[in-house]
């Protein structure tokens, strides 16, 4: 029996103008963007549709912008009568998945990710943390290298296990510099420093996680209507209270994306629909398993084409 998973992108997939065709033509989508503006108390939709890009790229803006666009696309897609067997999201994308699965109301989700972005930006003073993408390395060897560098006093950890041959590391500026200079020792091709505002998904984010825990405690978490495969465990969860716990851990733990994709495939998922701006996850899934069917829903055209292909 063929199974389908809806997956939702994280930070880095944003672009100025995303979701505009939906906003212009679908009243439900327009209401979604307007509700985000009202909930946050500033015109987020103007920033999404008009930029400037530098402002949209600020973590505290990117997170609610991506969530709003992804949820609007998901709701328009669901209106075509298509439902997933599983949902998952990459880092911030997990909140889009949870909103679609009915765990969080849209109002709570958009407010939480706005706060999450602020906490993450404020957790480490500018210039002290960094991230880098390591290409062509083995996970165990890279973890051992990170442990060795950390033991020497410069913290660095695995942050995103994205797909075979692509792992992002995160930590102190010094730790990342050492990974970049030593990565060939473990047979990796190279490490590319990333343009990010902090060392996300590393233990340097624990202060952000503590603040997020207080913020999550004020929100209503419902049980998921469809299993959500969590970043932290790469296993399904439906219990609302457990999901809230995992979201706190997610801030300072690695995103096990490759494991998530492999687990879904092992359950019989042969069709993945990436819902949200860009196509980053589609690329990662393709590198993990070339045999699965992949679709992108990132604008009105692709939504119509994907719905037609799957109906």
Positions marked catalytic: 91, 201
3-state secondary structure of 279: coil
Put the strands of the sheet holding 156-163 in their side by side order. Answer: 156-163, 166-172, 129-135, 190-193
Angle at which helix 206-217 crosses helix 106-122, to 10 degrees, equals: 160
The stretches of the chain forming alpha helices (DSSP H) are 20-25, 27-40, 44-50, 53-56, 59-78, 93-100, 106-122, 139-151, 173-182, 206-217, 240-250, 257-266, 280-288, 300-310
For residue 54, how many other CB atoms are within 10 A of its CB?
Answer: 8
Contact 257, 162 (CB under 8 A): yes
Neighbouring-strand partners of residue 4: 271
DSSP code of 223? P
3-state secondary structure of 167: strand
- What Rg value do the Cα atoms of the chain yield, rounded? 19
Q: What's the rounded Cα separation, in Å, for the pair 284 and 163?
A: 6
């Amino acid at each position: 029996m063929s199974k389908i998973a809806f997956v939702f992108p994280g930070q880095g997939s944003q672009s100025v103008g995303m979701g505009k065709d939906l906003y212009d033509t679908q009243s439900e989508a327009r209401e979604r963007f307007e509700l985000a503006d009202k909930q946050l108390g500033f015109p987020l939709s103007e920033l999404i549709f008009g930029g400037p890009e530098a402002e949209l790229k600020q973590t505290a803006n990117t997170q609610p912008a991506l969530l709003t666009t992804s949820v609007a696309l998901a709701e328009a897609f669901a209106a075509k009568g298509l439902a997933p067997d599983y949902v998952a999201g990459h880092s911030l994308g997990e909140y889009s998945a949870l909103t679609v699965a009915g765990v969080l109301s849209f109002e709570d989700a958009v407010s939480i990710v706005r706060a999450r972005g602020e906490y993450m930006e404020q957790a480490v003073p500018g210039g002290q943390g960094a991230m880098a993408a390591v290409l062509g390395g083995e996970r165990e060897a890279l973890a051992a290298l990170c442990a060795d560098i950390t033991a020497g006093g410069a913290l660095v950890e695995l942050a995103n296990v994205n797909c075979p041959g692509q792992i992002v590391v995160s930590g102190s500026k010094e730790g990342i510099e050492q990974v970049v200079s030593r990565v060939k020792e473990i047979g990796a091709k190279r490490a590319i420093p990333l343009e990010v505002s902090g060392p996300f998904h590393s233990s340097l984010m624990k202060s952000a996680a503590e603040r997020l825990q207080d913020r999550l405690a004020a929100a209503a978490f419902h049980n998921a209507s469809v299993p959500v495969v969590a970043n932290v465990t790469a296993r399904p969860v439906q219990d609302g209270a457990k999901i809230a716990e995992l979201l706190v851990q997610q801030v300072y733990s690695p995103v096990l994306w490759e494991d998530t994709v492999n687990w879904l495939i092992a359950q019989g998922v042969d069709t993945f629909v990436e819902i949200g701006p860009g196509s980053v996850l589609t690329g990662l899934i393709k590198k993990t398993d070339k045999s699965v069917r992949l679709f992108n829903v990132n604008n009105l055209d692709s939504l119509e084409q994907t719905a037609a292909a799957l109906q």
